[in-house]
Structure 1
Amino acid sequence: MQSTPQQRFINYVRDPEHSRRIVSPFLPYPDVIRGSLELLGIKPPDDPFTAEIALSQALDYEPMFMTSCSDLIFPWVLCPDRSTDETDCYVIETCNGEWVRNVSKRLGIWGDESGFPVRTEEDHQMLWDVCAQVGDRTDAIREYYRSFRKMIGENGVIVIGHPNPSWLGFQIGQSNAFLHWMDFEDVYRRSIKAVYDASLVVMKIAIEEGIDFMSNCTYGLEITSMKLYQEMDMPVLQDYAEWTHQNGGLFWYHNCGQTSKLIMSGFYNKLGADVIETISPPPSGDNDLAESRQYIDRSICTKGNLDLGLLKDGTPDQVIEATRMMVEAVRGYPHIFSTADAVLPGTPPENYIAFVKTAREYI
């Protein structure tokens, strides 16, 4: 009986020496999927998940899909009557009253730090309250993961979204994170623990409902420092990996920034991760794949690292050459051939197809 994409992917991570090598682009944007199907003469399904499954079957790759996680811990509800022309108002009800955030309609949550709800020391109490309430939502969380697994079936692997406790589940902006850590570290550590504990409630359900990989992400050295990475990020990552393995799962670590010093310092070998992505090249990262891979233990499966800018703006011939170079850079190492982060909107279908076909044929 022919193995499924899900089985092939997991078999490779667990036993790369005796398994077929994996090609798995990182979350291609729906317009890229649709355009690629049309270029292949296949009518795209309306549902984006079904569409990528169809594309992966046509091009013989193993897709990965990502669920929510932090959104299940922090279930913000849009309040249209309290929104304005400039901002959207969101609310979470807690035992101590409403927690409110206002997000710029023009800039979005990542374009304006004022939209992150943890801005003062007092805001941490609201975060603790919301995290403590996650147990009240377990039925809805379970139904979400069960439905996601049913939708994907065995046509790909599913990775849980990154809870990111070090950055408080994406409830604090980058500058405030550092300021709060410096000004009231004990409070910040309690918030990290609150998000971590809440995420384990979610992850336990996810594993029970067949989600393949637990995961977490952190920033690279373009934002954090070696010292802060050791103090803020590594303990959480190690705890996640240990917990995941104790519960029979696989742990996936994502960092798409500047990571070469972290890798060469041996930090990645201490995390306990089964899959590490994306070993990003310049300009988003600072890795030479062949060099960095030598510093990562052979028991760890790396994933990446085709440059997104080249994939979007280069020619098919350039994409083919870069893909061949990527394959050669990791000869003899367990590696999943992918991109340096999520495939950008507007990426030409010709380039996407060239990447996938070359990776599959050349490995």
Structure 2
Amino acid sequence: MEMTPKQRLLSSIKGEQVDRPAFSPFLAYYFQSLPLEIQQAGELAYLQQMGADPLLRGAVCAYKYRHKVCSVNEVILDDKKIVTWITPKGTLYAEYIFAKKSNTWYLTRHPVQRVEDIACLKAYYEDIIVVENIEESNAQVEQLGGNGLQLAILGIEQKSSFQSLLEFWIGTINLIYFCEDEPELIADLLSVMQEKSRKTVEITANSKVSACISWEDSSTGNISPSMYQEFIAPELSNWCDILHNENKLYVQHACGLIKDLLIPMGKQGVDAIESITPPNTGNVTIAEANRILPTNISLIGGIDPVFLLNSSKSQLEKEAVDLIKTCSNRGFVLANSDSCPPGVDYDKFLALSQLVRTKL
């Protein structure tokens, strides 16, 4: 019997038998480049039109958060943006610059620069109140029905606490120094941050969503395997325990240089790793991930975004067939990894959709 897209995606993430391989391209950056009328119709309609199984990453959120006394202000002057966080312990600010070509704001100054700023960030998190948004998220799940699968977002910063310090709040270099020079301050800060993010997971676990995701962007480009195991893996393992107790699945988004992080990821309790990215964008092929990871962890991705852009349809189809065969021993969702470059020929999506439906 033919499965619904939701059934097919859930079974793929669980590593269960499916009627055919699941296919769901990751349209980040690509979809925003499409004509306005297509964007207004929505990503779901676009995925359905091409015959994909809509895996809507981060599409619902079962919680909201607000502040008791802290405030956040944003000022934009031409191509520069300044965001300010006013806390009882002082003020933090970040600076951005806008790149028109990529339509993206790039962070140029991390908010936490000095040891004294750590207390400000801690105060900001202590001030956060996490509240339920379950009624709205449940309505979204019910509205989608079997037509796709939403991966509900988790975390105050939509990722683990340490990863948010690494990427945004502090930055790689200063964070490493602070971990060495001020370990107690960082530990106290992480404890508060993790408590708030854990609340988002607990709320989500009691909603009707079936699976969750966080934008970990895990990569040895900015964290060592030992630091990952010390600071990130324990928090994500706790999230997995909470979700699994309520029969929810956890998918970890990891689109960077993750080859040397696969073993600790495999021990966290994750159900799937999303955006497995081969060279040159990433550093691990699906075949390598398949050899390294336990077979109870499903894989999502495998097609390098640059290859998707530059390959012929016949080359792309051959690559897809090889990926699907490689993962015949585990759950797998065929997708491009990391992002999708604007300019990819729509016919390539149609070719992949047709491939999984009729040619395997």
Counterpart amino acid of 1:11? S
Taking the TM superposition and a 5 Å limit, the aligned residue runs for 1:56-71 are 58-67=50-59
Q: Secondary structure at the match of 1:160?
A: strand
- 1:276 corresponds to which residue? 273
Counterpart amino acid of 2:330? Y
Deviation at 1:29, TM superposition (A): 4.3
Deviation at 1:241, TM superposition (A): 1.4
- 2:161 corresponds to which residue? 165
Deviation at 1:307, TM superposition (A): 0.9
TM-score calculated relative to the size of structure 2: 0.82
CA distance in structure 2 between the partners assigned to 1:73 and 1:131 by the alignment = 11
- 1:39 corresponds to which residue? none
Q: Determine if the alignment matches structure 1 residue 212 to structure 2 residue 207.
A: no
- 1:47 corresponds to which residue? 41
Counterpart amino acid of 2:148? G
Q: Determine if the alignment matches structure 1 residue 117 to structure 2 residue 114.
A: no
Deviation at 1:85, TM superposition (A): 3.6
Counterpart amino acid of 1:158? Q
Change (3 A) 1:150 1:345: farther
- 1:230 corresponds to which residue? 229
CA distance in structure 1 between the partners assigned to 2:32 and 2:17 by the alignment = 32
- 2:251 corresponds to which residue? 252
- 2:24 corresponds to which residue? 24
Q: Secondary structure at the match of 1:272?
A: coil
Taking the TM superposition and a 5 Å limit, the aligned residue runs for 1:259-338 are 259-263=258-262, 266-338=263-335
Q: Is the 8 A contact 2:233 2:265 kept in 1?
A: no
Deviation at 1:291, TM superposition (A): 3.2
Deviations 1:207-228 (A, max 9, x none): 3343332333252223222222
Deviation at 1:73, TM superposition (A): 5.5
Counterpart amino acid of 1:190? D
Q: Is the 8 A contact 1:45 1:51 kept in 2?
A: no
Which structure 2 segments of 5+ residues have no match?
Answer: none
Deviation at 1:347, TM superposition (A): 1.8
Counterpart amino acid of 2:228? Y
CA distance in structure 1 between the partners assigned to 2:274 and 2:79 by the alignment = 37
Q: Secondary structure at the match of 2:131?
A: helix
Q: How many residue pairs end up in the alignment?
A: 347
- 2:12 corresponds to which residue? 12
Change (3 A) 1:191 1:52: farther
The structure with the largest strand share of the pair is 2
The structure with the largest helix share of the pair is 1
Deviation at 1:235, TM superposition (A): 1.6
- 1:84 corresponds to which residue? 77
Q: Secondary structure at the match of 2:147?
A: coil
Q: Is the 8 A contact 1:65 1:156 kept in 2?
A: no
Deviation at 1:8, TM superposition (A): 3.0
Q: Determine if the alignment matches structure 1 residue 128 to structure 2 residue 122.
A: yes
Deviations 1:90-111 (A, max 9, x none): 2345444654333223499873
Q: Secondary structure at the match of 1:251?
A: strand
Deviation at 1:86, TM superposition (A): 4.8
RMSD, matched Cα: 3.4
Taking the TM superposition and a 5 Å limit, the aligned residue runs for 1:124-163 are 124-135=118-129, 138=131, 141-142=133-134, 145-146=137-138, 148-149=140-141, 152-161=144-153, 162-163=158-159
Q: Which range moves more in the overlay, 198-207 or 273-282? A: 198-207
Q: Is the 8 A contact 2:24 2:335 kept in 1?
A: yes
Q: Is the 8 A contact 2:15 2:331 kept in 1?
A: no
